Amino acid sequence: MTTLTWQHTSSRMSQFLALTKPRVVSLIVFCAVIGMFLAVPFGVLDLRFAANALAATLGIALVAGAAAAINCLVEQKIDALMARTRGRPLPRGELTPLQTLVFALAVGGSGLALLYFKVNELTMWLTLATFVGYAIVYTVILKPMTPQNIVIGGASGAMPPVLGWAAVTGDVPFQALLLFLIIFAWTPPHFWALALYRKLEYAKAGVPMLPVTHGDKFTRLHVLFYTVVLFAVTMLPYATHMSGLIYVAAAIVLGGVFLYYAIKIYCDYSDRLAQTTFRFSILYLTLLFAALLLDHYFPF
């Protein structure tokens, strides 16, 4: 293979990879893996668990990447109007809609097949439902129609730990649903912080995000409200004896910082503050789930 051919192949692979939104998928996979480990005690961490978890992780990642590609396909015209997304392969004309569709179907189908044959049927069906919820219900129906798109569509984004739990146990107990509830409550303040400082772009693209339809003050109040709800929800694992002191201490500290940002957004808003809050919200969820894992295997 010549250098020129290799460069072309590498560039095309990078374009397809960009369709899968790797940073978003990495957080999805992280939450799914945490769900897998939380579902079992330390003594079950053997080669059988490792093989099952590896297959589940890859399968979930492939389906999540396919859902992201469908999102890029549906929203290519919107993406072209927004600074945050105009560099994606479809708006730049680097990939065609047909190439994107074929890629998404191939990747998503491979992921579902892997989950069905190497993990279990429940995980495959739940993952398929998550795919439909995000790629179709949220992207096609909710996002262009209602400013509550993030709240309703957040159910799909909250599924990864449930998928992980189901992958290693074949069941969805209340503990998995608590993890779902945490991400479900986290989603609105996370995305509305982004929507606040990207309001003009969403308006230009015709997307009815909350700041566009109801104004900044209303959105800032809802960021604060859902952050308070999130703080309360994160206490549930400790209240139900799912976790111990390590987790609840982390939840209080991280939740306190998130509440501080939410209060500042409501009382003294700036775009820079909203950007900082959005970035912190990602770190918040990562550290919160890491604390759950640490607490699970090293209870205090």
pLDDT tens for each residue of 15-28: 999 999 999 999 99
The pLDDT, as a whole number, for residue 206 is 92
- 255 and 271: one domain? yes
Which burial class, exposed, middle or buried, applies to 257 when counting CB atoms under 10 A from its CB (0-12, 13-18, 19+)? middle
Domain membership of residue 121 (yes or no) is yes
- 18 and 165: one domain? yes
CATH code, domain with 55: 1.10.357.140
- 138 and 75: one domain? yes
Domain membership of residue 247 (yes or no) is yes
Average pLDDT in the 258-273 region?
A: 98
195's CB contacts (< 8 A; 6+ apart) are 150, 202, 209, 210, 211, 212, 219
19-64 pLDDT tens trace:
999 999 999 999 999 999 999 987 778 899 999 999 999 999 999 9
Q: pLDDT tier at 8 (50, 70, 90 boundaries)?
A: low
- 109 and 210: one domain? no
Q: Is the pLDDT of residue 1 over 80?
A: no
- 25 and 164: one domain? yes
Q: Please provide the average confidence, as pLDDT, over all residues in the chain.
A: 94
Domain membership of residue 261 (yes or no) is yes
Q: Which two tokens stand for residue 148?
A: 């509550």
CB 114 within 8 A of CB 58: yes
120-138 pLDDT tens trace:
999 999 999 999 999 999 9
- 215 and 138: one domain? no
CB 259 within 8 A of CB 234: no
- 161 and 244: one domain? no
Domain membership of residue 156 (yes or no) is yes
- Other beta carbons less than 10 A from residue 174's beta carbon: 10
Domain membership of residue 3 (yes or no) is no
**Phi first, then psi: what are they for 235, rounded to 5°?**
-80, -15
Q: Which two tokens stand for residue 30?
A: 């992280």
Domain membership of residue 5 (yes or no) is no
64-114 pLDDT tens trace:
999 999 999 999 999 998 988 999 999 999 999 999 999 999 999 999 999
- 153 and 250: one domain? no
Q: pLDDT tier at 4 (50, 70, 90 boundaries)?
A: low
| Domain's final residue, options 102, 136, 171 | 171
Prediction pTM value: 0.95
- 215 and 280: one domain? yes
CA distance 238 to 296: 11
Domain membership of residue 219 (yes or no) is yes
- 152 and 186: one domain? no
- 152 and 44: one domain? yes
Q: Which of 205, 235, 211 is nearest to 223 (CA)?
A: 211
| Domain's final residue, options 171, 205, 237 | 171
Q: Which two tokens stand for residue 151?
A: 């709240």
Domain that includes residue 244, residue range: 173-300
| Domain's final residue, options 126, 155, 171 | 171
**Could you give the number of structural domains in the chain?**
2
Print the SS3 string covering 40-96: CCHHHCCHHHHHHHHHHHHHHHHHHHHHHHHHHHHCHHHHHHCCCCCCCCCCCCCCC
152-205 pLDDT tens trace:
889 999 999 999 999 999 999 999 999 999 999 999 999 999 999 999 999 999
Domain membership of residue 6 (yes or no) is no
Q: Fill in the DSSP letter of residue 20.
A: T
- 111 and 54: one domain? yes
